[in-house]
Amino acid sequence: MASLSKKSNNHFIAILCGGSGPRLWPLSRASNPKQFLTIFGQQSILTQTVNRALKIVKPSHIFIVTNQKYLPKIKTHLHRLIPDKNIIAEPLKKNTLMAMLYTSLIIDKIQPNPTITFLPSDHYIKSNKPFIADIKLAARLATTKSIVILGITPTSANPSYGYVQTSKTKNNYRKVTKFIEKPTIPIIKKLIKSKSVYWNSGIYTLSANTLFEQVQKYQPQYSINLINKNPKRAYQKCPGLSIDVGISQHADNILLIPANFIWSDIGEWKSIHQLLKKDKNQNSKFDKVTNFIAINSQNCLVKTSQSKIVGLVGVKDLAIIDTPDGLLVCRLDDAFHVRHLIGQMVKSKKTIDYFLKTHDQKN
């Protein structure tokens, strides 16, 4: 296979930027989700993702697929890192399968049968060099009509992830034998005893033709002709399936590359706490303006505004996240349940705006 040491003319990167980040409430809101937040470093998570992609492909080969309401934010954050015409607004929000299919059809008109890497916009990746090598390997493997995913070695029984069972090959990638979308904790504990099980990172690489073939085979209700002729109508008619549920659980041509870099989906407060610098009692603060004093308290994450100080006395394993209009206190091990908290919040007219809108926040 041809080397991808240079930027390939047939390799594109599409960044999925439609999530609302409910598990990082109250900092992340539907109006200002986590991909637009500055958590690690001096740039937003989205900007870091685009800069990482620019090390692999040229600017004209990077696309972003998003919601109409995020277009102004994206243009502000990216400062023309990529052409504005490469920012695609979906007619409706219909999960990752439709987003990937719609984007693939648009890119396919520019470059017939491109190889496309789909990156979530809101992940933390520590080391660019091994990430770039893994993505280039994935692009080479995808030319064999394979769907290629990057797998993460599990570090805990986390029910927020999809799990992937694999069989060993002679190469530095593995054949996927089973895809298990967000199993229960008892099942996860059995799965992760095996060294052949990985977290699904959500990073996919495949050719446009492979995606079209898989959709026609497993989800024929997605009409490629209708998407081309009338995208809005196609979105209205199609179900809202993820690529994981719609394709990955059915397909038999999936390869997995064990990731050679430190990764986090920064999906909940515990994962952020794990990545932050900690004091001798394993307490961490979210940013420089956060101020707290702790007595007999361990393993807590604190976020406050500049005008406040938090006192911790005799507590442990907590996330305390304070914003001008919201306060979250939860056990770090239960942080994935914040999604259910938001589910309750949006059911009431009295509380729904506390997720939909951002009040007096700088981020």
From the DSSP assignment, how many helices (H) and strands (E) are in the chain? 12, 17
- What is the predicted pLDDT for the residue at 222? 94
**Do residues 24 and 34 touch, judged by C-beta distance below 8 A?**
yes
- What is the predicted pLDDT for the residue at 1? 39
Cis before residue 59, ω within 30 degrees of 0?
no
DSSP for 182-230 reads S--HHHHHHHTTSTTEEEEEEEEEEEHHHHHHHHHHH-TTS-HHHHHH-
In 3D space, the residue among 164, 189, 185 whose CA is nearest the CA of residue 176 turns out to be: 164
From CA 2, how far away is CA 18, in angstroms rounded?
34
Task: Please give the radius of gyration of the chain, using alpha carbons only, rounded to the nearest integer.
Answer: 21
Q: In the chain, what is the straight-line distance between the N-terminal and C-terminal CA atoms, in Å?
A: 44
Amino acid at 236: Q
DSSP H helices, the chain, are 45-53, 71-78, 95-110, 128-142, 185-191, 208-218, 224-229, 231-237, 243, 269-275, 338-345, 353-356
- What is the predicted pLDDT for the residue at 18? 85
What is the DSSP-derived secondary structure letter of residue 353?
H
Query: What string of pLDDT tens digits covers the 363 residues of the chain?
Result: 344 446 678 999 999 998 888 999 999 999 899 999 988 888 899 999 999 999 999 999 999 999 999 999 998 889 889 999 999 999 999 999 999 999 999 999 999 999 999 999 999 998 789 999 999 999 999 999 999 999 999 988 888 888 999 998 778 899 999 998 888 889 999 998 888 999 999 999 999 999 999 999 999 999 999 999 999 999 999 999 999 999 999 999 999 999 988 899 888 999 999 999 999 999 999 988 999 999 999 999 999 987 899 999 999 999 999 999 999 999 999 998 999 999 999 999 999 999 988 654 444
3-state DSSP assignment of residue 136: helix
Return residue ranges of the chain for CATH 3.90.550.10. 11-264
- What is the predicted pLDDT for the residue at 6? 64
Q: What is the CATH number of domain 11-264?
A: 3.90.550.10
- What is the predicted pLDDT for the residue at 362? 41
From CA 151, how far away is CA 178, in angstroms rounded?
13
Strands, DSSP E only, in 208-325? Answer: 254-258, 263-264, 284-285, 292-295, 301-303, 310-313, 318-323
- What is the predicted pLDDT for the residue at 84? 92
Tokens representing 330 are: 């939860």
Helix or strand holding residue 328 (H, E): strand 326-331
- What is the predicted pLDDT for the residue at 320? 97
- What is the predicted pLDDT for the residue at 53? 96
- What is the predicted pLDDT for the residue at 357? 80
Sort strands 147-152 and 197-207 into parallel, antiparallel or unpaired: antiparallel
